[in-house]
Every structure is written in structure tokens, then in C-alpha cells.
Structure 1
Amino acid sequence: MKNDKHLYVLIAPYMLLFFIFTVLPVVMSMLISLTYFNMLEFPRWAGWSNYTRLLLDDDIFLIALKNTLIFAVITGPISYIACFVFAWLINELRPKVRAFMTLVFYAPSISGNIYFVWQIMFSGDSYGIVNGFLMRTGFINEPILWFQNPKYTLMIIIIVQLWLSLGTSFLAFIAGLQTVDKTLFEAGAMDGIRNRWQELWYITLPSMRPQLMFGAVIQITASFAVADVAMNLAGFPSVQYSAHTIVTHLIDYGTIRFEMGYASAIATVLFGIMLCSNLVIQKMLRRVGE
């Protein structure tokens, strides 16, 4: 530390900000989850009562947990694989074409008011694009109220979330593919690698482990933290809580009811789920290329 003290000085501003705005809030949230805190009175110690209420008495949270796990299991792996596959294919294109296609794939994740397009597509009247198409082709006789029917709500939101998922992870994979040492492919050919799939498994993926890990963290966070899509398309709360997730449950108690102790308990449970998922993904990624 004495020899590299100038490096610690350089990194100190970032570490200070990281501690104040990331580590400290997480620790404070865990402590507040053990209290009753309504933003008006000083927090009162409540012990594990928030957690017992959450896990044993809150039926809406169980619905939110089920919906969130469905989101994560479907959108997480599919969007992660899709990000890599599209990045791998686009990386083979010429530079100008690659730059254009990267913009095309990344644009939906940064576009404002993008939910307006899907609201038009799944409008509940005959002017909706999907309803109009189905009625003209004879599949249905009257418009379907897509976002008022719990049977369709979750499916539509999963589709929209998958469409929006080509974001930061996609760019990270593009960058990782650009940094793979080309001489490794020549060495691999001498060692017995004969096709592109072997190159992908034994050279490309192991060389991209940092980007793969970063992409996994981003996709896990995105799949477990679904809220904006559900709230903008299905409303808040959604019909029969069909699109209710852990984060929308957290928003309900944190920003509407101001039960900050209970909201912090929800956040802590979500943090634990994300942490366990990350540990599992890390172990799986370490086996890539073996």
C-alpha cells in the first residue's frame, strides 16, 4: 500500500462516492427493514415482524414474487443469449454496417415513450394493430382487451421486456468481441480447433469472461427489477395484480403508503434473491471453455 499510495489517492474519490451512495444506502435499508418507519416519526424497532408479515401474511407479495420469478426465468436467459448471439453475428459485419446495426439493436432500450408504440399495438379496440389484424384474418370476432385480461397481460409484458433487453449487455458483448486476440485463433487451429463452434467455446467465450459476467449482472438486475414496463402498459396496480412484481410492490409501500420499514424489507429480500442468482451465474460462467 505504501508503494502504490498514489493509486489509492486516485481511486479515493470514486470509492468515497461508491460508499456514500451505494454501500451506505444498502446497509441503511437493511437496518430500516427491522423497524417501523412512516417518514414522520422516528423509526421504532420492530425486529423481524416486517419479514414475517411479508412472507406469511402478504398474499400480494406472493403474487409479485411468482410474477417476478416468471419474468426472470423467461426474460433473463433468453435476453442474455439473444444479446450475445446478435452481438456475435453483428461483429462479423463490415465496420460501417456493424455500427449501423449496433445502433438499430440498441435504440429501443434508450428510446423515450417507447411504451406508446406497444399501447397502440395492443389497444383494446378495433383500431389496435393486433386486434385489427386478428379481426381481418378471422381469428377473432370482437376486440380483445389485452391489458384488462389477466390471461394476456403477463405474456405481453414479457414480450416487450425481451424487445427492450438488447441494451447495455449487448454493447458490452460487442466490445468484448472486439478485444479478443486474433492470434488465439491461429494458435487454436494448430492445437486442433477445426470449426467456428469450437472457436466460440474454447477461445471467444473464455476471452470474454469479464464482459460475460458484466452482462449477466445487468440482465439479472433487469429481469428481477421489472417495473416500468408493467406500470406503463398494465397500469398500477394491474388487473388482479397480473403484472405485479416485487419492485412495483416496493413502489407501492415505499412511495404511496410510506411504510418505509416494510418497503425496506421488500428491497432486502429482492437484494438477497439477486445476490444468490449472481453467485449461481458466476459459478456457471467459470465453467465456460472447460
Structure 2
Amino acid sequence: MWGPFLLFIGVIMSELVKTIKSSSKNNKNSFQRFYDINGWGFVLPAVILVSLFMIYPIVNSLWMAMHSGRGVIMEFVGFGNVTRLFNDPVFLKALSNTFIFLIIQVPIMILLSLALSSCLNSPNLKFRSLFRLAIFLPCVTSLVAYSILFKSMFAYEGIVNSFLMWTGIVNDPIPWMADPFWAKVTIIIAITWRWTGYNMIFFLSAMQNIDKSIYEAARIEGVSPIKQFFFITVPLLKPVILFTTVMSTIGTLQLFDEVVNITAGGPANETLTLSMYIYDLSFKFVPNFGYAATVSYVIVFFAAILAMLQFRIARDK
């Protein structure tokens, strides 16, 4: 189990020895040799810590994905866990739910963040700081606290149904938690409410760094504010849009807290996500850490593929 880690440490130590030998062969002065050795001495503790707490767990989890069982009772199955994925209806359901949240929620959140940041960047808007704080505040709240709050708000007799019935929008309460469609809508509303302000800050800071003379020249040429937004602001924000889209994609693929605390994956696994399924495989069902590790690498695979596609689409022609 410690083989990959020890191998990595061995490579580092061999490089250290090569550096010392190379210094001697090149007849460097004593100060230069001292500098090389101390450089490795400063780097080595950080390398050991990164290897121990990051590289080793990654390598070990990849090795674990080729086993099946729990605890130390693990049986090598090779790619058997990968084959099991395609025959696991719960995994396929969790995968489809995760992509539904990804395809619907991420574009809505990015567009909403972009629109809000454009409005809050206007110098003519009063109380801009207050509005910015109000929109950004949800992303610094506790995940569990706001999830429980949303669960109570969207309960059958919660404040949302009471408001909708009081205004006459609906005649009967909406089963937010009991209906598969409305349960997904609740999760999408919750994560959009929390993370829109987070992405808005990136757009807002980028907009404030755009040279004002560009907009001044556009106004002199008679370009409307809408055209300025689509033909000046959006193209100049492309790196930030790419960054927020990639980070939001990764975050949605790892969606866990909201689902666990609001719907618990229900009804009938209709809001179950990949991260929640990994948790269930590890701690709720009969533990199978090897299969759970395999599902976790599915998230890594799709995160890498989607990030590569987004980088390719957004690259300059």
C-alpha cells in the first residue's frame, strides 16, 4: 500500500543525489554546492507533505478502485468495478441527475451573475455597495444552515407555498419535496441562490479593470449600451467566463451538501448525485470502498473532459 509513496520519495532522493554529484563534477565552488543542497533541503519538507497528503491518497485511491470490499478485507477485481458501473441502475440515475443539475443550473447561474455584475457596475446606481453585499452574502453562509432553511421554506406548508397561495398563483400547495420535478427545481434554486453572488464578484472585479476609454469611444461612435455589453464587455470577460464556468462545472459535479440536507436524495433517488452515492457506498450501505473509489474517478473523468472541452471552445481562433 505504501509502495507508490516510497517510490516517489525514492525518486526525490535520487534527484537530490544527482544534484550533489553534478555540482561536484562541474567543479563548482563551495558556495554553489551549498546553495544546491540547501535548496533541496527547503523544498523537501513541502514535497514530503504534498506527497503524503495529496499524491499518495490519489494513487492509493486509484489502486483501491481496482479492489472490492471494505476495510482491510479487499479483493482485487481489476476493471470489474468499471464493468459494474454500466449495470448499476442507481449509479446511472445519480449520473443523469448530476448532469441535469449541471446542464440547467450552471448556464442560468453564469448568465444571472453576468447580468447582475453589469447592473451593479453602473456608476449611476445608488446603494451599490449594499446590493453587492446582499447578493454576495449567501455564499459565505453555512452550507448546512442555508440548506435546512430552504428545506423549511419549501416544505408542503412552508412559507413559499403560503405565499404562492396567498397571491393566487397556485390553488393547491406544490409538493416541492415529494414530486421528482419540483424536488430538482428546489435544488437548482438553492444552489443558484448561494453561488450566483460568488461568480458575480469575479465578473464585477473584471469589469472594473476594463479601460473606460473603450466605452467612451463606443459612446462617441453612437454604440448603444446593449451592443457595448455584447461586443465589448462579454469578449473582454472571456477568460473570467471560462474560469467561472469551469469552476461551476466542477462544483456541480461534486454537489453533495444541498442534496443531503434538503431532499436526502429523494424522492426515489430522483435528486441523488454522484457525490451522495459515493457517501452512501462508503458509510450508509454495506461499505464497498473500492467501488466508491471507482465512482469518485467518474467525477474526475467528467470534470477533466468538460474542462478540456470548455477550454477548447473558448480558445482564440
TM-score > 0.5, shorter chain as reference: yes
Deviates more, 1:261-270 or 1:91-100: 91-100
Work out which of the residue numbers 38, 54, 79 in structure 2 matches 1:48: 79
* RCO comparison, higher one (Cα < 8 Å, 6+): 1
Equivalent positions of 1:63-74 (< 5 A) are 63-74=93-104
* Alignment partner of 1:169 is 2:199: yes
Residue identity in the other structure for 2:266: S
Q: Alpha carbons of 1:65 and 1:205: their partners in 2 closer, same or farther (altered >3 Å)?
A: same
Q: 1:242 aligns with which of 262, 267, 270?
A: 270
- Give the Cα separation in 2 of the matches to 1:150 and 1:19: 43
Q: How far off its partner does 1:10 sit?
A: 9.9
Residues 142 and 171 (structure 1 numbering): CA distance in 2 closer, same or farther, change over 3 Å?
closer
Q: Report the residue type matching 1:219 in the other structure.
A: S
Contact in 2 for aligned 1:254/1:260 (Cα 8 Å): yes
What percent of counterpart residues are identical? Answer: 25
What letter matches 2:79 in structure 1? Answer: W
In structure 1, the partner of 2:287 is: 258
Cα deviation, 1:53-98, whole Å, max 9, x if unaligned, reads 112x211111111111110010011111111111121111469833
Cα 1:183–1:93, aligned 2, differ >3 Å: closer, same or farther?
closer
- The 3 A distance-change label for structure 1 pair 123 and 282 is same
Match of residue 58, structure 1, among 76, 85, 88: 88
Q: In structure 1, the residue corresponding to 2:196 is in which secondary structure?
A: coil
Is the alpha carbon distance of 1:178 and 1:24 closer, same or farther for their aligned partners in structure 2, counting shifts above 3 Å?
A: farther
8 Å Cα contact 1:122-1:130 kept in structure 2: yes
Q: Larger deviation: 262-271 or 143-152?
A: 143-152
Q: Let me know the Cα RMSD of the aligned residues.
A: 3.4
| Inter-partner Cα distance in structure 2 for 1:144 and 1:252 | 29
Look up the match of 2:9: none
Aligned equivalents of 2:171 and 2:227: distance in 1?
A: 52
Relative to structure 1, is the Cα distance of residues 129 and 25 closer, same or farther in structure 2, using a 3 angstrom cutoff? same
Give the unaligned 5+ runs of structure 1.
1-6
Output the TM-score relative to the length of structure 1.
Answer: 0.80
Q: Is the CA contact (8 Å cut-off) linking 1:33 and 1:50 kept in structure 2? A: yes
**SS of the residue aligned with 1:31?**
helix
133 and 104 in structure 1: CA distance in 2 versus 1, 3 angstrom threshold: closer
With over 3 angstroms needed to count, the CA separation of the structure-2 counterparts of 1:64 and 1:178, relative to structure 1, is same
Confirm whether residue 225 of structure 1 aligns to residue 254 of structure 2. yes
The equivalent residue for 1:107 is 137
Q: CA deviation at 1:185?
A: 4.0
Give the TM-score of the pair, scaled to structure 2.
0.74
**Following the alignment from structure 2 to structure 1, what is the Cα–Cα distance between the partners of residues 151 and 277?**
23
- Which of 17, 27, 30 is 2:62 aligned to? 30
Q: How does 1:171-186 map to 2 (within 5 A)?
A: 171-185=201-215
Kindly name which structure, 1 or 2, has the bigger radius of gyration based on alpha carbons. 2
Residue 287 of structure 2 aligns to a residue whose secondary structure is coil
Change (3 A) 1:84 1:259: same
Aligned residues between the structures: 277
